[in-house]
Amino acid sequence: MGQDRTASPAAAPLAQGRTTTREQSRCRRWDSLGLENRGALARSPRGISQWVDLLATAAAMGRGRHVAAPMARDPRPARRAGPDPLGACVHRRLICVGEKRGSDVGKTKRGKGSKWMVVVDGQGIPLGIHVTSASPGEVTLVDPTLNTIRVPRAGPGRARQKPPRLIGDMAYDSDPLRERLGRRGITVIVPYRPNCVHRRYEDRRLLRRYRHRWIIERTFAWLGSFRRLLVRHERFTSMYCSLLYFAAALIALRRF
């Protein structure tokens, strides 16, 4: 005999009610807001106190601490707090309102900047450093750069300031410079420019040493590897020179 699987008409509402209850329990299980809470969310929100009502509620806030009376006697109306002024109050920062400037900064064809004047030995160790504006030519900066050389002697005596030979590029092509340094006992090895016709001090034998000029270019590459020196951020030249001297000391320690 077969069993009838169709439910009776009286049992149909009961089965439908059970199914509805299961669906409701499933909704409560997976939804944090049940069906009975959705009606409460549909109402309009209550009024929120704005900044103009702050003085009105001061009496209720400071009854026991005598805060309401002084605030109520304040003649100025309540205002919105404006933006903080931008100035020198930033922690560890100096903000310049006007144009940014600095000492020993000059104009060139590529913009503004400073110029390094460095004298090195045969191994590329800096012996003298001079930082100045980028506007004047290198010929006028040779003497101040040589004055910064202080090479101590092995024994007693003054520090040496005059190198026996000075190799430079065509920017140092100047007969008065060769004569002035020649009187001091310094041999200048600088090639003449191609457009120069009268070459009084040209010596092919001395120009053989010009091929060692790559040593100074390598030293400039070493100094340029320090990010603090590649772009000048210091306003004062003394601070920038101190970083340059520190980089030169590191280069000297690495070579020994």
Q: What is the spatial distance between Cα 162 and Cα 150, in angstroms, rounded to a whole number?
A: 9
Integer Cα distance of 51 and 195 in angstroms: 79
* Burial class, 142, CB count within 10 angstroms (exposed 0-12 / middle 13-18 / buried 19+): buried
**Residue at 4 is within a domain:** no
Residue 9 CA: distances (Å) to CA of 5, 6, 14, 21: 13, 9, 10, 20
- What pLDDT, on the 0 to 100 scale, is given for residue 177? 93
Give a yes or no: residue 199 inside a domain.
yes
Task: Specify if 19 maps to a domain.
Answer: no
The pLDDT, as a whole number, for residue 1 is: 45
Tokens of 61: 């806030």
65 occurs within a structural domain: no
What pLDDT does 20 receive?
Answer: 53
The alpha carbon dihedral of 27, 29, 35, 39 has a sign of negative
Does some domain include residue 166? yes
Distance between CA atoms of 171 and 115, rounded to whole angstroms? 14
d(CA 68, CA 60): 8
CATH of residue 220 = 3.30.420.10
Number of domains in the chain: 1
pLDDT at 98: 58
Q: Which amino acid appears at position 196 of this protein?
A: C
Instruction: Give the structural domain span for 249.
Output: 106-150+161-255
Residue 50 counted as domain residue: no
Distance, CA of 156 to CA of 90 (rounded, Å):
52
Q: Where are the alpha helices (DSSP H) in the chain?
A: 11-30, 38-41, 58-61, 68-72, 142-146, 175-183, 214-224, 227-230, 237-255
Tens of pLDDT along the chain (256 residues)?
Answer: 444 444 444 444 444 444 455 555 454 444 455 555 555 555 555 555 554 444 445 455 555 555 556 555 655 555 555 555 554 455 555 555 556 678 888 888 888 889 999 999 999 999 999 999 999 999 999 999 999 998 888 888 888 888 999 999 999 999 999 999 999 999 999 999 999 888 988 888 889 999 999 999 999 999 999 998 988 888 899 999 999 999 999 999 998 7
As a whole number of angstroms, the distance between CA 79 and CA 86 comes to 20
The answer as to whether 188 is a domain residue is yes
pLDDT on residue 10: 46
Q: Could you identify the residue written with the tokens 């439910």?
A: 7
Specify whether the CB–CB gap between 248 and 149 falls below 8 A.
no
Q: Closest by alpha carbon to 38, among 26, 25, 28?
A: 28
Asked if the structure places residue 193 within a domain, the reply is yes
* pLDDT for 45: 52
Tell me the helices (H) and strands (E) count for the chain, helix number first: 9, 5
Model pLDDT, residue 204: 87
